[in-house]
Amino acid sequence: MPFASWLSKAATILICKSQDHPPARSNPLAPPPARSNPPPGPHPHAAWIEDQLLAFIVSRILQAIPVVLVVGLIAYAMFAFVGDPVTIMLGTDYTEAQRVALVKQLGLDQPFFVQYAKFMWAALHGEFGISYRLARPVTDLLAERMPATLELAATASVFALLVGVPMGVYTGIHRTAASRLFMVFSLVGVSLPTFLIGILLILVFSVWLQVLPSFGRGDVVRFSHWSTGFLTVGGLKALVLPAVTLGLFQMTLIMRLVRSEMLEALRSDYVKFARARGLGPRAINFGHALRNTLVPVVTIAGLQIGGIVAFSIVTETVFQWPGMGLLFVQSVQVADVPVMAAYLVMISVLFVGINLVVDLLYYAVDPRLRVAR
Amino acid sequence: MSAAAPRAPGALARWWDSDLAYSFRRSPVAVAAALMLLVILFGAALAPWVAPHNPLDLASLNLMDSRIPPVWDAEGQSSFPLGTDDQGRDILSGILYGVRISLVIGVGAVLFAVVVGIAAGLLAGYAGGAVDAVLMRIADIQLTFPAILIALLVDGVVTAALPQEMHERLKVQVLIFSIGISFWPQFARTVRGSTLVERGREYVMAARVIGLSSGRIMLTHILPNVLGPVFVIGTLTLGLAIVTEATLSFLGVGLPPSSPSVGTLIRIGNDFLFSGEWWMTIFPGLALVLLVLSINLLGDWLRDALNPKLR
Amino acid sequence: MSLLDVDGLTVEFPTRRGVLRALDRVSFSIAPGEVLGVVGESGAGKSLTGAAIIGLLEPPGRIAAGQIRLEGGRIDNLSPDRMRRVRGKQVGAIFQDPLTTLNPLYSVGRQLTETMQAHLPLSGPEARRRAVRWLEDVGIPAAAQRIDAYPHEFSGGMRQRVVIALALCAEPRLVIADEPTTALDVSIQAQVIALLKRLTRERGLSVMLVTHDMGVIAEAADRIAVMYAGRVIEIGAVADVVRNPSHPYTVGLMGSIPSLDVRVERLRQIDGAMPRLNAIPPGCPFNPRCPQVFDRCQVERPDLMPARQTEAACWLFDPAPAHG
């Protein structure tokens, strides 16, 4: 069950977030004791690799289906047991006949699992019902807000990776005052709650220096189904503080992870052997050591994207960013179940998708996997 | 901070006498973190006696005292060392009482997670088979989602399911439940792993042979051996649990302003950030960071000290 | 003229409890085409000598005194970048465990071409052609197909063949082989030693063969250096050191090897253990265990001196014994 076990490894790292030596040995993707793969004779043909890749993807998707089904069950159970949709939709003044008609119309008289199946079927078609709070189709509400959240999350992820990986590599290779400073900085970084980072940034850059906006998306450019803040100066300025807030925690995490993996790789025999062959420092640090840190880094980075989407709830609230996270918080406050359920199902599909991409990246990074399974 | 203190006092005493105390004395960071945590703990525990005012006593509030800056500011007053909020509440007193609530919820949530996690982990590890598969699959699925999301969702559902008039009265319990439930899988996985190891050991076999019941074997023989890792994870989770509570309160689904935690204070103060009254937010925020940082530093140190292989 | 001259090499590790001297005035030389076996218990400083020669001492270890000369030029004080060009190009290295010395993420072909191109002016296709030839040379079957295979697709013995190809591919004059067969199955050890012997004979390479396996030494080496507590205590031709050792430690070491030709009642063993680096006794480091110890051994350190057919660091062979 590699899917499950790498999750738990990643979770261990998240919990023990400033851990210097993640339990690399328990990494299910780390090479199985190398002897377990006897030479398969001549090198496999490309077609064979493709077949294997397809089988790999299919098995991953099959593993993901129960996850989505269970999440859907939980989402539907909220519908069924939290609040009474009939009273919510009819108000307090209704006749028995009206009630029975509505119950029949909503299918509430059918067995629970039939209703669940219908719910999932509708969800598959992107239908999640009507928001209690805003009296509009949930799908429309989510679709309106999705661009804002995705642009924010993407910017934050890119920021976390582009800053976190180089800083981790630097602190892994060099033992200078700068790298000690980075480490202290990262320790404070993991202890600062996301919303507090946002508040501090607002205080410094919006209140005191007054150089960056503190709420909203600024000017957006609209296409048919998408509104983007990437194309205007105002939109880009509005993106800076939320993206930094959202990415900072993940950045420090990635930096610490890359550093400890680099340290481990630089101690390894194959790096010593590469040195003994007279390879240059660049080939050793980046070609040999960094490449070997990619598998664990990809795992965590994948999980971090999930974390970024979840923490966008907090960031969007701090910056009043009109995305799905803000919508979700507002829905939780008034128990707007259809929106909560839809958000949950969507997030689970998103996470499953991320996990699949992460698995495929392993496949690209680590040749051992291509034969191991 | 007895989040996951081992049941047997003998074990704790042994640790203290052995390498652990030595390693503690050798680590200035751990000592500093412990001192900082002690100061915060005492301040919180003794809040009714050390706080200059009682922020929960609405009758004592005076709007004339509202929005006073900290004492070193020209307009500051010595009776409100860190200033006041918009209602005239003393910030320092609010923090002392708020940290108290945050700690109660954090410790409560971790204890809840530990109890559920240990029970599930022991059961899964000892029973194996279908029980194991189902429990661990649930844990895996939950681990797919960040804890904050789970806590937010559970909190929303439980609150919606409770009658309106019970919301405020049961809020602390609801938060402990929501946050605790979002952290149980880590404990369950750890305990299960250790249980699987211990189950195969000879002393457990021997206990079986002499006819002890499964429950008794688990509680008296296996449990003491899995407490070490649980203690470390518990400490690190405590920091996360406190942050989670603060985040929920900041989002407005946690504690109400009538009984504010640190997160609620930050939320209240956040509204006044733009009018220049930064102290309403920054001081509670600082208190939160110091609390979490000291717990995390201690947890880091503990993990390394108990696991020499990592060095 | 010798290819490699190690002269008074002293390596120290500064630690919290004081400076540990891991190598103490080690001297030997290797002639072109010669195979020097270096033997000794673990911790005697064999591998450390190899690491010092290729300039890869682990910090905080450092060369505190002495010189290492390759073809007459000093290589112990080169800048990191110039030393890098010596490694691989002039001195190749073979490590112990082929399972961990190859980078798992790159094909063996890529690791070969990368190494060659770091030192030789070769185009991509030319480097690849040479890589195939090297794989053929070290006895990889179907080399042209397997050049793109990854290390995990080879068995342990095959991997060590790849490691040998990697060590030799930039055409060094000297190879330092650090326990090249220890991690291999017994049945494969002989093949790898035979391969190493053939390749180095063909190319006239010098080898420093570090091992604790006397069988490997007897099979492959021309001369032997025996190390004890960071010092060379005896050096000489293989036949002489094995049949006719001079130093009491070597005598004990040879006596502990089972032999098929000579029937002995029981194998001898040396009482005690090699001293730790922080507790090396004054005088001769072997004196606490030596059956022939006398006063001078506990006071004055012996250097290598002619002794029967070999050279040994032992006062028993001092031509002008100190009196009083």
Q: Is residue A116 part of a domain?
A: no
Mean pLDDT over each residue of chain C, to the nearest integer: 87
Contact A191 B292 (CB under 8 A): yes
- Which range has the top average pLDDT, A132-146, C137-151, C253-267? C137-151
Distance CA A291, CA B86 (A): 55
Residue A110 above 60 pLDDT? yes
**Do A308 and A161 contact (CB within 8 A), yes or no?**
no
pLDDT-based confidence at residue A21 (cuts at 50, 70, 90): very low
Enclosing domain of residue A190? 146-326
Give the DSSP letter of residue C222.
S
In chain A, the residue whose alpha carbon lies closest to the alpha carbon of C170 is A277
Q: Is residue A310 part of a domain?
A: yes
Residue A257 above 70 pLDDT? yes
Residue B18 above 80 pLDDT? no
Of A287, A294, A291, the closest CA to residue C114 belongs to A287
Task: For residue A286, give the CATH number of its domain.
Answer: 1.10.3720.10
Residue C269 above 80 pLDDT? no
Q: What is the pLDDT of residue B8?
A: 53
Q: Output B242 or B252, whichever has higher pLDDT.
A: B242
* Distance (Å) from the alpha carbon of A83 to chain B's nearest alpha carbon: 7
Q: What is the pLDDT of residue B308?
A: 47
Flag whether residue C87 sits within 8 Å of chain A, measured between CB atoms.
Answer: yes
Residue A25 above 60 pLDDT? no
Phi and psi at C305, nearest 5°, equal -145, 155
A and C touching (3 or more beta-carbon pairs closer than 8 Å): yes
Using CB atoms, pick whichever of C114, C150, C167 lies closest to residue A367: C150
Map out the domains of chain B with their CATH numbers: 73-310 (1.10.3720.10)
Mean pLDDT over each residue of chain B, to the nearest integer: 81
pLDDT-based confidence at residue A253 (cuts at 50, 70, 90): confident
Residue A35 above 70 pLDDT? no
Neighboring chains of A (3 or more beta-carbon pairs < 8 A): B, C
Q: Is residue A3 part of a domain?
A: no
Q: What is the pLDDT of residue C232?
A: 93
Distance CA A313, CA A140 (A): 19
Distance CA A336, CA A329 (A): 10
Residue for token digits 């790498």?
A6
Residue A85 above 70 pLDDT? no
Q: What is the pLDDT of residue B9?
A: 56
Tens of pLDDT along B190-235?
888 888 888 777 777 788 788 788 777 777 777 887 787 888 889 8
Q: Output A51 or A71, whichever has higher pLDDT.
A: A71
Selected residues 160-189 of chain C with any CB under 8 Å from a CB in chain A = 163, 166-167, 170
Q: What is the pLDDT of residue A39?
A: 40
Q: Is residue A268 part of a domain?
A: yes
Tens of pLDDT along C27-74?
999 999 999 999 988 888 888 999 999 998 888 889 999 999 999 899
Tens of pLDDT along B52-89?
777 777 777 777 777 777 777 777 777 777 777 777 78
**To 10 degrees, what angle do helices B91-127 and B171-199 make?**
40
Helix (H) or strand (E) holding B29: helix B28-45
Q: What is the pLDDT of residue B155?
A: 84
pLDDT-based confidence at residue C222 (cuts at 50, 70, 90): very high
The number of domains in chain A is 1
Q: Is residue A187 part of a domain?
A: yes
Distance CA B150, CA B152 (A): 5
Q: Is residue A45 part of a domain?
A: no
Q: What is the pLDDT of residue A20?
A: 33
Q: Is residue A206 part of a domain?
A: yes
Residue B45 above 90 pLDDT? no
Flag whether residue A177 sits within 8 Å of chain C, measured between CB atoms.
Answer: no
Q: Is residue A42 part of a domain?
A: no
For testing contact with chain B, the best of A184, A190, A199 (most B CBs within 10 A): A199
Distance CA C275, CA A265 (A): 33
| Residue C233 in tokens | 């205590």
> What is the maximal distance between C-alpha atoms in chain B?
78
**Do C27 and C4 contact (CB within 8 A), yes or no?**
no
This prediction has a pTM of 0.75
In this prediction, residues B172-188 reach a mean pLDDT of 91
Contact A203 B278 (CB under 8 A): yes
Residue A182 above 80 pLDDT? yes
Distance CA C221, CA C232 (A): 17
Residue A193 above 60 pLDDT? yes
Residue C193 above 50 pLDDT? yes
Contact C149 A365 (CB under 8 A): no
Residue C121: count of CB within 10 angstroms of its CB:
7
Q: Distance between terminal CA atoms of chain C?
A: 40
